[in-house]
Structure 1
Amino acid sequence: MTRRFSSPLEAFNHWVESIPNEVFLRQPVNRKFVEFTFAESNDQILRMVSALHNLGIQPGDHVALLSKNCAHWIMADLAIMAAGCISIPIYPTLGAESIHEILDHSESKAIIVGKLDDYASQKAGIPDILTIGIEMYGTMEHHTWERLIAQHEPSATVHEQTSDELMTIMYTSGTTGQPKGVMHTVGAFAQLINTAIDVIHLPERPRHFSYLPMTHIAERAGIELSSVFRGAIVSFPESLETFAEDLSSVQPHIFFGVPRIWQKFQEKILEKMPQKKLDHLLSLPLIGGLVKKKIKKKLGLSASMANFSGAAPIAVSLKQWYARLDIIINQAYGMTEDCILSHFNLPGQNKFGTVGKPLPGVESKLSAEGEILIKSNCLMKGYYKEPEKTAEMFTEDGFLKTGDIGEFDHDGFLSITGRVKDQFKTDKGKYISPAPIELQLLKNYDVDQVCVVGTGIPQPIALIVPSESGKKKSKEELSQSVWQTIEELNPSLEAYEKIAKAVIMKEIWSVENGLMTPSLKVKRNRVEALHMPMYPQWFDHEESVVYEA
């Protein structure tokens, strides 16, 4: 029987008392893992609590955390909780202006700055508040984590968390509009993690690998807080360059990847072993089994008992491709506002093309317009300082409006068919949901990113960023490949949905150029704002496949 806890601090303290000398966190530095036991982590956390209080931070104050995933992210978050403060995580890829907006809006009194790629350019966004750097990652400030823990004794008192107290304000990465601060309680996370422990079965003290931004609700809950509740061993990658090597060395018991990560893994496999060769090897009885084992080991997924995808839709064709390698991907569905206690496919209960059934404690239904509505004890307390926006998110009977359009099948599995805000009208006046069409186009290995658009033109067009394999092809070959996929797809679409043109984009959409969110979803509104003036010209082009000038 797995132990249940009512708060992160209660869970952490249990492991500190019962297995103090077991490894909790593993941080790679110069290609060697620096390990922190539960006792060592606790000692640093309690010293940081003393330091925060000594520097004038009071219980209830807001303390921000700006860092890529690392051992100190988790220690800092636990220290903020243990000091009785409320954490404000900030995406490590944000620029100075966005950082300043969040620190200002959240009224943060202090910020802990950890592992970053370009702190020099972000530093200007931090106003005159208490700033604590971490020497291990080269973020030097007047106050550093290392100096403060050397100067302070461990705090004799630790805040006792209650279920209904505010624990964190998480600013959404937002595919549209300004980020909003989602308020969540201790109890919401406790219920979520205890539910996950009940339905996702892992070994005692599992191995976790943390690489997606912990500022995102899925990683915060599924890796950070799950590791605290399960007493897991958490390892991190050192850099993007060492990511594959680090993941392979860890072989975690659970793996979560957004669709783009699964696409990238596939691309790397096919670079080394083209599809025809892979198909042939998999068809051979003994060799096929060995090839599967080798690929899983190389990816780092040989021990994974549950592989998940979330944050954006994943193509069924991609899941089927992985299933042939005995890598089963479970698509999950949730959002910051519902603390991701929503719908999950689970090992043994996995229906491709759906996002699964409601988790225990979740009530879900569809509005008259087909919008998915969710109710549970884990819904947000609201958007910080935004009562009007909060009110807009709920129905009169207390259901959260997800903004997604869906349908349930006769077995109770939910499929998402589109997003309310993503729908657009062509000038024929017909509404189109682009997401299902985009997923079909992503079946083509030459396509990396796609955005189906059509505002102000008679038929939709597909904006396409080619994959690495697509870029290696000549223009003629790539055009032929893309248009063949569209010709295969169009007969299955309604007349007004049929794709009239494909436009090959000249630059990739990334977090850096503002065309993707930190959780790697395409920012449709930014892509549209940039390219909409060109739609009529592209639509009228004589070629079926147009190259952006």
Structure 2
Amino acid sequence: MNSTVRSEVHEITENSVCGIFLNRVKANADEPCVAYRKEDTFHDVTWREMGDMVHSLGAWMIHEGVVRGDRIAIFSGTRYEWWITDLASLLTGAADVPIYATNTAHEAYYILSHSAACLCFTGDREQTDKVLAVRDSLPALRKIIVFDDILIDDPMVITFQKAIEEGRQRLDLLNPDSAQNAITPRDLATIIYTSGTTGDPKGVMLSHGNLIANVRQVHDHYRNKLTIKHDFLSFLPLSHALERMGGYYLAISTNTKVSFARDISTLLEDLKAVRPTSFVAVPRMFEKIYHAVQQRVRESRKLRRIIFSRAMNVARKNVEYLAHDRERKGIFALRYALAHRLVFSRIKNNLGMERIRFAVSGGNALSGEIARFFMGLDIRIIEGYGLTETSPVVSANRPDLIKPGAVGKIVQGTDVRISPDGEILIRGPQVMTGYYRDDAATAEAFTDDGFFKTGDLGFFDNDGYLRVSGRIKDIIITSGGKNISPMNIETNLMYSKYIEQAVVIGDGRNFLTALVVPDFENLEAWAVREGIAFGSRKELLLHEKVRSLFSDEIDHYQKDFSRVEQVKKYTLMDEPWSQEQGELTPSMKVKRRVINERYAEIIESMYNEKNPEV
């Protein structure tokens, strides 16, 4: 089926994200813009202070010889200095090049070399050392600027604070208003390197026009839902287009105060300290919270379990009210108020989520069961769809029109077409200008009539909501000729609190198998409760009760798939896959080719054993 859905875009008032920021600085001045945690306290930074630092750093960059068209790398975790560097770079006419904080020296080298970055901003000593280790092979790199105030005895390295101080002495080199007025929509703003699951990453070129168009599209999509002032907690990597748009550009456009979590490991602690009204997260976070609540209930007294069960019955009925922004009335309103007082408010207070108006889930599919759990608590979970190449937002549910399991309706001004092969094709003002220094890949990425080929499979349901069903390159074709999307099966398996990672295998085979990495934190806690003694993870995974547990979990989470789509055999892995070992991308996507090659013997052993009934 060949179908296209389109809507119109509203007028864009500012020509760049820089223009939005400068206007907000003038309007908000001494109000808090961001907050960072130092020791046990969050410290505010005002809009005026942010604006002054952007001006100073931009002036320093110009003094260091940065000119329009240069590339400036940011190799750091999520922090307010990232924002300042991004904005200063854009005002000078340079394009920034994000690098994930977890990237290896080799991965960072490829991006720095391919982009020919002249400056590299680093977060801490570890990232700085990685760049120093490869600097001799980077002739374009002139300076390394480290955010942390640490002493590194090297003439190539300067601290962020020192650069700011030097820039303050040269403010006449940059007039922010004139600089942002000189920006055109076609000017290159950023080069974001894709994860590279099948080869070297490609540099996605996004223009100022791409970014500002997507800001406007999301504003239009959410209408008056973004006019309420929010307190946002930022913790996903700003190197990822989702956090950059949702937790940064949209935040400044809506006058939202953003607090930066120290680290993903301190997220729950930071949630309780900030008590935000919104945040962006990946499905795994919601899954872990859900399983933690369920486990706590199972361990509670019988009376509490009964109260929780009855409250959940009320919660399930609340989903329809919340999904369509309907007011609760009559007897149900009273029942919900009681359930909220006895159960829901306590759960949310314990999580630091009692003020949440909505949370965005992206990067992968979220279980409908888990989405409905949070919505039952009056926490809207917004799922959407996009790619780095689309700035990134293509579609999203709205707070007043939520359909769990779907990724919403398309944003304004975007054409979305489903090809005869089921591929999602996109054309719109947010679509990239191309891949940096790769004309062949750019040409291959577009259809003859200008649609971007996403590589994703999807369809529109009867209500016009987009649904994504897998990746074309990941499709398994069994020996019987059946086409199977492993993503859907893997996603379902990982809904289990005992499964952290999974890869389904079966291309050219007559049945499916899987490599499964347990969630060892939950598994080991379960083993202790079951009285299972073990000296190592390998020993634990060989235990009969553990094998039985995983068989039951896999059977449960794949029960809704057809027989040919069900995993018949699996192997439990005793070590998680990691970016350091080359098995995951910086955005934590599995490199299937690496997994298949590295564990070929294990995979073959599952097929060499006596075959199950298929």
Counterpart secondary structure, 2:497:
coil
Partner of 2:463: 411
Partner of 1:106: 115
Q: Which amino acid aligns with 2:522?
A: S
Counterpart secondary structure, 2:248:
helix
Q: 1:535 to 1:14 in 2, by over 3 A?
A: same
Query: Which whole-Å CA distance do the structure 2 matches of 1:265 and 1:116 have between them?
Result: 32
Post-superposition Cα deviations, 1:223-270, rounded to whole Å, max 9, x if no partner, equal 111122222211111234432211222222222111122223234334
Is 1:145 matched with 2:124?
no
Alignment of 1:251-262 (within 5 A): 251-262=275-286
- Does the 8 Å contact 1:425/1:432 carry over to 2? yes
Which range moved further: 217-226 or 167-176? 167-176
Q: Which amino acid aligns with 2:450?
A: G
Aligned match for 1:120, one of 118, 129, 138: 129
Which range moved further: 138-147 or 306-315? 138-147
Which range moved further: 399-408 or 266-275? 266-275
Post-superposition Cα deviations, 1:108-157, rounded to whole Å, max 9, x if no partner, equal 11112224655434531343522243354537463222122222332442
Alignment of 1:233-312 (within 5 A): 233-274=257-298, 280-282=306-308, 283-284=310-311, 286=338, 289-312=341-364
Query: Which whole-Å CA distance do the structure 2 matches of 1:324 and 1:542 have between them?
Result: 46
- Does the 8 Å contact 1:96/1:123 carry over to 2? no
Q: Which amino acid aligns with 1:531?
A: Y
Is 1:363 matched with 2:444?
no
Deviation at 1:464, TM superposition (A): 1.4
The Cα RMSD (Å) is 2.6
Aligned match for 2:370, one of 318, 321, 345: 318
Query: Which whole-Å CA distance do the structure 2 matches of 1:373 and 1:139 have between them?
Result: 50
Deviation at 1:93, TM superposition (A): 0.7
Aligned match for 1:18, one of 22, 27, 37: 27
Query: Which whole-Å CA distance do the structure 2 matches of 1:400 and 1:267 have between them?
Result: 38
Partner of 1:130: 142
Q: 1:179 to 1:151 in 2, by over 3 A?
A: same
Query: Which whole-Å CA distance do the structure 1 matches of 2:353 and 2:399 have between them?
Result: 15
Write 1 or 2 for the structure with the bigger share of helix.
2
Deviation at 1:197, TM superposition (A): 2.2
TM-score between the two structures when normalised by the length of structure 1: 0.92
Aligned match for 1:185, one of 189, 200, 207: 207
- Does the 8 Å contact 2:128/2:146 carry over to 1? no
Partner of 1:483: 551
Aligned match for 1:38, one of 43, 47, 72: 47
Q: Which amino acid aligns with 2:403?
A: K
Aligned match for 2:37, one of 4, 12, 28: 28
Partner of 2:188: 166
Counterpart secondary structure, 2:511:
coil
**Which one has the largest radius of gyration?**
2
Post-superposition Cα deviations, 1:397-439, rounded to whole Å, max 9, x if no partner, equal 1111111111211111122122101112334443321122223
- Does the 8 Å contact 1:15/1:231 carry over to 2? yes
Q: Percent of aligned positions with the same letter in both sequences?
A: 30
- Does the 8 Å contact 2:234/2:259 carry over to 1? yes
Aligned match for 1:532, one of 585, 600, 607: 600
Q: 1:292 to 1:543 in 2, by over 3 A?
A: farther
Is 1:221 matched with 2:230?
no
TM-score between the two structures when normalised by the length of structure 2: 0.83
Counterpart secondary structure, 1:63:
strand
Counterpart secondary structure, 1:461:
strand
Which segments of 5 or more consecutive residues in structure 2 lack a partner in the other structure?
A: 1-9, 312-334, 533-542
Larger RCO: 1 or 2 (CA < 8 Å, sep 6+): 2
